[in-house]
Amino acid sequence: MPAEAVPRPPSDLLASRMRDPYPYFAWLRRHAPAYVERRPGRPAVWQVSRYQDVRSLLADPRLSKHPGRVPGYVPGPAGLNRHLVHSDPPAHTRLRTLVSTAFLPRRIALLEPFIAGVAHRLLDRVEHQAHVDLIADFAAPLTFRLICAILGVPEHLDAASTRNTLMATIAPRTSADPERAERDLHALLDVLIAGKRSGDEPGGVDLLGALVRAGDESGVMNEEELRSTAYLLLLVGHDTTMNLIGNGMLALLCHRAEAERLAARGAASALLTTAVEELLRYDSPVRDATFRCAAEPISLHGRTIRKGDIVSLLIGSANRDGQRFTDPDRLDLGRTPNNHLAFGYGPHFCVGAALARLEGAVAFPLLLERLGGAQLAKPAGELPWRPARVMRGLEALPLVRR
């Protein structure tokens, strides 16, 4: 389709897509399933919105994960992009193999008592409070504490300041000094790595220590890759699952019948498994797949994605595609089958999927049990969303007990 024949999205949908992207996604699927944005001096960005296209391209080797393939790419000052999300085979295969053993489902299952213990203690702190922020009081500390435990981050660094430094790198436009935040994180990671080398910072699972030893003993991971991988694991192990809990609880609070259905069945029910999958689908914690660009020309819906163009695979849109899901805008905790793309697809399928599912399976029944009577402190349409391109997550989820 020639560029001049492609309609432009209505301005009201563009303006509201941070708060509620789903009307915008529906417009794209119907009118422009391969929509390109071109800006002077910047690479073209294609938005792919239909389920079958997104699923296919997630596994398409013609799309590269390496930012260096984009004309004019300039790496950040701290060099935190040399990880498996920004690499192609064989580097991706090597890095993923090193990381994935710590996230095997059988190993993750052993963490359930730890997750439940942390979750109960966090809720104990707010048990008598009339006002609760589900993000700041529960989802953020729970998920950050867990990924720190897996990595072997010492307890004195498992603090709000560390998390704030990490989160400032996600949405640099909202940070007072994004370059300083990145440098601070760089320095923090160097301290962590040095502690592992000295043997002075033992941890539980201690994935970071294992990666340091693997790099030092066999040379399979250089210093920049090690630092970047630690950054990646801290980020996705925390941010993605925090969004799952926040988005999922918002959906349950806005769909009381479904919430009561899950609460009545309890944590031991088969409904819990399908409920977690449906909450992942309904308002995915990852709105757009992580970076990809065309390594060669690709034809899609009569248009040509040129070599070097960025391709944004809209996971949130694919998960609401009526060609794949019956009544896709309805929350149905018993939905099956439910082949959503919240964790991606293909060789870059999320390595931490089992961890996110377990955290959700622990958190949702417990929250419904202990906070199920709470209500939103403000209308859902007024809740603040973090301005991140890839992730979709609330800045705050204020609740009130009446």
Average pLDDT of each block of 10 consecutive residues along the chain (402 residues)?
69 92 97 93 93 98 90 67 89 90 86 95 94 96 89 70 69 61 81 81 68 80 87 87 97 96 83 97 96 96 95 98 98 97 96 94 95 92 90 96 80
d(CA 223, CA 389): 28
Q: Find out whether 239 and 246 touch, Cβ atoms under 8 Å.
A: no
Q: Find out whether 324 and 318 touch, Cβ atoms under 8 Å.
A: yes
d(CA 284, CA 242): 11
Into how many domains does the chain fold?
Answer: 1
Please, what sign has the CA dihedral across residues 295, 296, 298, 304?
positive
- Residue at token pair 């199920």: 372
Contacts 24+ apart (CB under 8 A), 122-131: 123/366, 123/367, 123/370, 123/371, 127/370, 129/401, 130/400, 130/401, 131/377, 131/398, 131/399, 131/400, 131/401
- CATH of residue 261's domain is 1.10.630.10
d(CA 10, CA 40): 21
Percent of the chain that is helix, strand, coil (3-state, to 5): 55, 10, 40
Reading the block at residue 223, the tokens are: 């210093």
The pTM (predicted TM-score) of the whole model is 0.92
Give residues with Cβ within 8 angstroms of 378, minimum separation 6.
398
Round to the nearest angstrom and report the end-to-end CA distance of the chain.
Answer: 55
User: What pLDDT is recorded for position 7?
Assistant: 84
User: What pLDDT is recorded for position 327?
Assistant: 98
State the residue range of the domain holding 221.
Answer: 3-400
CA distances from 289 to 23, 122, 196, 312, 350 (A): 19, 31, 32, 7, 10
d(CA 187, CA 387): 25
Q: Find out whether 239 and 170 touch, Cβ atoms under 8 Å.
A: yes
